[in-house]
Amino acid sequence: MHIAVIGAGINGACTAWELARAGHSVVLFERDTAMAHTSRASTKLLHGGLRYLENGEFRLVREALSERRAWFDDAPQHARPLKLTLPIYRTARRPSWMISIGLGLYDLLATGSGLPRHTWQSQELTIGKNPHLKTDGLLGSFTFWDGQMDDLQLGLWVIHQAQNSGVKVSENTGIKAVHPSGQVTFSDGGSMQFEQIVNAAGPWASQLLAASRINSQHSLDLVRGSHIVLNRPCTNPCLLEVPNERRIFFSLPWQGQTLVGTTEERQLAPTPVTPSTQEIDYLLNAYNHFFSIPVTSDDISSTFAGLRPLVKSSSNPNRATREYAFERHGKLITIFGGKWTTARAMARHITKLIHNP
């Protein structure tokens, strides 16, 4: 089949690669350059998503944990296991027994991952290994394993694999409209006919449907997530609870510095995507609550933000599903939602859907 995939973020790149591997002739259209948007602005975790267990998303977590391993195996130059510390304070919203059960389940769902199980560390041991953590009210900590990637480089690696499998990547090629008949209209006015179109425009997927006058059952919740990079090394990756909230945030090593994120701010339109002053203050406050050497905006070396294209499912963005969904209109399939970690599994599902309409 002659297939057009629209959007060279991780979802479009993996879909194009998988379809080419299945023998199709694929063109991947991107209006900017590959991996220029959401897929390079993530928290850089290849993870099952421990907190999604609270929302009962067991299928998603199991799939993501298995995909996490596949990324480590296939692209070890850009993806690696990461040991995280989860400190437990007396003031935590979640009791340690609940976290212990969650981590036990996480280990179970990760069976076969080859990574060690979670452990409990006493207060003494926690302080010994994390000398910059504040000690007041600290009871101890759990350690568990997830993964970290260089999202831009891993994404470009996927693009490269896709090209090697025969995908033609057409950058700087905006798509103005798509049609259920298989017609693609370019922003410059020309058009082309395909046997199948995949709309993988991420946060812009609904906008492309609207511009094409196609009504869809699914809609996207656009939730901005911002990060700050602090000009200091991160000796111990941590998962922490935002003070007085159930939300969690991460402090992670990133290119010799410390990546702190993220936030959840609803946006009505997919642009602009920039961290607000309030989000930056929120992240600085959260970090300073737990670490003894305080940071100010002077310690920030860079900031970035991305827009989560979440399938609309909850009034609280923190509880909104990270699952993906597909919607078909004739020869057009649109991808809604998804995670970086699960992009290849999503691409296999979409390929099956195309083979078995």
Ligand X SMILES: Cc1cc2nc3c(=O)[nH]c(=O)nc-3n(C[C@H](O)[C@H](O)[C@H](O)COP(=O)(O)OP(=O)(O)OC[C@H]3O[C@@H](n4cnc5c(N)ncnc54)[C@H](O)[C@@H]3O)c2cc1C
* Those residues with Cβ within 8 angstroms of residue 300's Cβ, 6 or more apart along the chain or in another chain: 228, 229, 230, 231, 280, 284
Q: Which two tokens stand for residue 32?
A: 């900017």
Tell me how far, at minimum, the Cβ of 128 lies from ligand X, in Å.
Answer: 28
Tell me how far, at minimum, the Cβ of 6 lies from ligand X, in Å.
Answer: 5
d(CA 84, CA 67): 19
The two beta strands, 168-170 and 25-29, are parallel
Nearest residue to ligand X, by Cβ distance, number only = 9
Tell me how far, at minimum, the Cβ of 59 lies from ligand X, in Å.
Answer: 15
Q: How many CB atoms within 10 Å of residue 307?
A: 23
35 vs 99 by CB, closer to ligand X: 35
d(CA 312, CA 219): 6
Q: How many CB atoms within 10 Å of residue 142?
A: 20
72 vs 89 by CB, closer to ligand X: 72
44 vs 118 by CB, closer to ligand X: 44
109 vs 127 by CB, closer to ligand X: 109
Give alpha helix (H) positions in 110-225: 123-129, 151-164, 205-211
Binding site for ligand X (CB under 6 A): 6-12, 29-32, 36-39, 41-45, 174-175, 200-204, 208, 225, 262, 306-309, 338-341
102 vs 338 by CB, closer to ligand X: 338
d(CA 22, CA 167): 11
29 vs 72 by CB, closer to ligand X: 29
Tell me how far, at minimum, the Cβ of 60 lies from ligand X, in Å.
Answer: 11
In our burial notation (b when 16+ CB lie closer than 10 A, e otherwise), range 32-48 reads eebbbbbbbbbbbbbbb
d(CA 147, CA 27): 31
87 vs 225 by CB, closer to ligand X: 225
Tell me how far, at minimum, the Cβ of 93 lies from ligand X, in Å.
Answer: 22
C-alpha Rg value of the chain to the nearest Å: 21
142: phi then psi, degrees, rounded to nearest 5:
-100, 150
Tell me how far, at minimum, the Cβ of 159 lies from ligand X, in Å.
Answer: 11
The owner of tokens 């509880």 is 319
Tell me how far, at minimum, the Cβ of 90 lies from ligand X, in Å.
Answer: 29
221: phi then psi, degrees, rounded to nearest 5:
-100, 115
61 vs 284 by CB, closer to ligand X: 61
